[in-house]
Chains A and B, each alone.
Chain A
Amino acid sequence: MVELRRAMSFGIPDVALELVLAYIDHPRDRDAVSLVCRSWHRADARTRRHVTIAMSYSTTPAVLARRFPCLLSLKLKSKPRAAMFNLIPRDWGGAAAPWLARISQPSSFDLLRSLHLRRMVVTDPDLSLLAAAKAPLLLSLKLDRCDGFSTHSLSRITSACRKLETLFLEESNIKDHGGEWLHELATNNTALVTLNFYLTELSFSPVDLELLARNCRSLTTLKISDRDISDLVGLFHAATALQDFGGGLFDDESGMAVNKYNNFYFPPSLQCLSLAFMATDEMHVIFPYAAILKKLDLQYALLSTEDHCQLIPRCPNLLVLAVREVVGDRGLEVVAQTCRRLRRLRVERGADDQGGVEDEQGRVSQVGLISIARGCPDLEHLAVHVSDITNTALESIGTYSKNLFDFRLVLLDREATITELPLDNGVRALLRGCTKLGRFSLYLRPGGLSDTGLGYIGECGRNVRYMLLGNVGESDRGLMLFAGGRPNLQKLELRSCCFSERALALAVLQLPSLRYIWVQGYQATPDGSDLAAMVRPFWNIEFISPNSESDADAQVQILAYYSLAGRRTDCPPYIRCIPPS
């Protein structure tokens, strides 16, 4: 029997196999390994370290526990991405309870030390369970854009999990009962490396933060909620290993005789900064550190176009830059000249009112895009909101940005006329030129992309796994051309398109790798009946009607995804599963 087993394992003993598998991490490689034979499947199951479940309803906790009992790290995501734009109803679903209940069972996931929940609903009882079951082992807890819990259960976590190296709460909606949780963390923990409660409204005491910095000598990343940074002087003197700081805020110092931020001290190890409400008169705090900065986030700053042109030339080593549109084409020109090694650039949308709060020069167009494409050849991630665009700009990106992996363009609706539409040729050139592109997002306006252009996307975006398309195409023909190009899309999001329900259903059937689709804004039937065309095994279809609580102009949504768990049982009444049981 032993001979037979060894023969089936190609002569490799189990122990050796597991040692080799320890070097294989990529999920697709692991997938291939697990399909070789039963013995390799078991070896993979025993040695798989991390699993990401992109859609929590695609499987069940029991299935996960059976398949990968020895997991070290788990990431779960649930609500559609659109939840970050307030488009998903609050009670849509995404409860983490079943997962945390299973994880907290005795002899379950004994090796789990890292948990990341993104866009899920987590309650206080859920977290208390987790704290009680996993406290000694838990090294990393990320509650990322989650909601449903309070600082009470956070205190349980921070007092019980004393080995915590990462606590990440960014943009979660947390009920604030005081800063006790931070005090617990500061007094019980010496291992913390990352603490992030950025974009939460949690209150805290700077004294606790300073204590934390003194006790945790390895504290490298600290991102906090709003607090005047002049209260944090003690913190910055104590946090000698700090590399990444975000949050805080500035008081309005314009017109003050002596600026209280003069000679502000940040630790010299600082490489990444995100400072909120930093205005022209406070910008100088960055100057002594600008030359070594690798990451700069000015999305929540109060700078003018000219300010950007003054600040950015001091930061030649930037790898990551995030700004709002106020940077302007002028500012982007400066970025292109200075930040030659830039890898990630985000130009977020600014305010819409003219001349009020934002700069008149603060608009980005094809001019800025072309500068960036030419000046920053290492660009991997580019997300921009533009007020004007041409095919040439997109062609430039296709020509110069050869390392681009993630491209996102939103054409704002400020200008009545755009210089050059449709963008068919530019889009084709970009997709053909950026061969490494894996994520592609294009949000235009009617007339921005013809049916032919939409066909180009299907045909040319071969390696793209995720797409968000808005206001593209002119008719169902465009959608069919797109699907007919057989792109290897895994995840598709469509918004504000003119396609019929039936055409959508038929297109889905043609996309060979599609496992997830979300649509809002299309020619819907009153009850989603045309979606019957895409009914197939293991394919969950949710037809989400706007309920009475939601916005007046909220529109119907389709959410469909592969699932081994069958239809979900926690749908609110305004969600219709197709086919109805």
Chain B
Amino acid sequence: MVKEEKESEQQQLEISLKSATPHNRSTEVPMSTPQASKSQLTIFYGGSVCVYDAVPPEKAQAIMLIAAATAAASATKPPAVNSNPIPLITGPVTSASPPLTRSPSFQSSSAAAAQAQIAANPNSSLCKLQAELPLARRNSLLQFMEKRRNRIVSKAPYAVEKSSDGKEMSVLELKPQVA
């Protein structure tokens, strides 16, 4: 994900998110007002963060466009502003319901309660930044799996099972919610 701090008001093209602070963890969505260092470019990618100072605006633009084009090409949708394979975009600038665009959530200038909208590009590692919860298992089935494991273990406690302890954890973990 590419973020850039800009003081210019040309929000039509760069619908920038909040500026990145140097202390960002890659799992957090940063929120703050645009900073004075207007040519700092921050890139989040694959769990690591790279910060570049003194990047000229047109270069930053070029980088963003390249990223957008690549993301759009691998996504199935056209890279329109409103449909978002492009990770940049905070939210609908041209949303159908006007109150929303004025709401703090969508304005990059708002410091406090604003949250960034991260478009869910299926091919982007960005997806991890979403509040993606593991599926939860139904209690009755959890109990059944536990009992079944105990039966196997008690039947052959020293057998080398494929469903070893390490794998067992995957059953015990809370996984996607059952319907």
Contacts and interface: CB of A to CB of B under 8 A. Distances in A.
A474 B126 CA distance: 12
Contact of B131 (A476, A496, A551): A496
Contact of A480 (B95, B135, B152): B95
A520 interface: yes
B100 A446 contact: no
Highest count of chain B CB atoms <10 Å: which of A84, A474, A553: A474
B133 A495 contact: yes
Question: How many of chain A's residues touch chain B, expressed as a range?
Answer: 35 or more
Highest count of chain A CB atoms <10 Å: which of B130, B147, B177: B177
Interface string A451-478: 1100000000000000010110111110
Contacts of B56: none
Nearest to B144: A300
A82 B113 contact: no
A523 B136 contact: no
A79 to B, nearest CB: 12
Nearest to B121: A447
Contact of A171 (B117, B139, B168): B139
Interface stretch (B16-24, B37-45, B57-65, B76-84): B76-84
B165 to A, nearest CB: 11
Nearest to A301: B144
Contacts of B145: 351
A480 B96 contact: yes
A30 to B, nearest CB: 30
B140 A171 contact: yes
Contacts of B152: 357
Contacts of B48: none
A521 B117 CA distance: 14
Interface string B122-138: 11000100111111111
Interface in A344-358: 348-349, 351-357
A475 B151 contact: no
Interface in B69-108: 76-77, 82-84, 89, 91-92, 95-97, 99-100, 103-106
A496 B113 contact: no
B179 A383 contact: yes
Contacts of A277: 147-148, 151
A408 to B, nearest CB: 3
Interface stretch (A177-185, A285-293, A501-509): A501-509
B119 interface: yes
Interface stretch (A66-74, A135-143, A409-417): A409-417
Nearest to B136: A85
A352 B172 CA distance: 10
Interface in A335-369: 348-349, 351-357
B46 interface: no
A411 B132 CA distance: 14
Question: How many of chain B's residues touch chain A, expressed as a range?
Answer: 35 or more
Contacts of B92: 475-477
Contact of A450 (B83, B133, B149, B174): B83
Contacts of A441: 179
Q: Majority SS of interface residues in chain A?
A: loop
A199 interface: yes
Interface string A151-195: 000000000000000000001000000000000000000000000
A385 interface: yes
B170 interface: yes
A449 to B, nearest CB: 10
A357 B139 contact: no
A408 B179 contact: yes
B11 interface: no
Contacts, number: 195
Contacts of B106: 476
Contacts of B89: 475
Contacts of B117: 475-476, 498, 500, 523
A498 B139 contact: no
A529 interface: yes
A85 B178 CA distance: 8
Given A348-B138, A443-B179, A252 B151 contact: yes
B136 A87 contact: yes
A523 B122 contact: no
Nearest to B75: A447
B113 A523 contact: no
A318 interface: no
B175 to A, nearest CB: 7
A133 interface: no
B171 A352 contact: yes
Given A470-B176, A555-B133, A503 B83 contact: no
Contacts of B170: 352-353
B122 A421 contact: yes
Given A385-B178, A477-B82, A522-B131, A498 B138 contact: no
B176 A353 contact: no
A199 B143 contact: yes
10 contacts: A171-B139, A356-B161, A410-B177, A413-B175, A446-B130, A473-B120, A475-B92, A476-B100, A506-B99, A551-B174
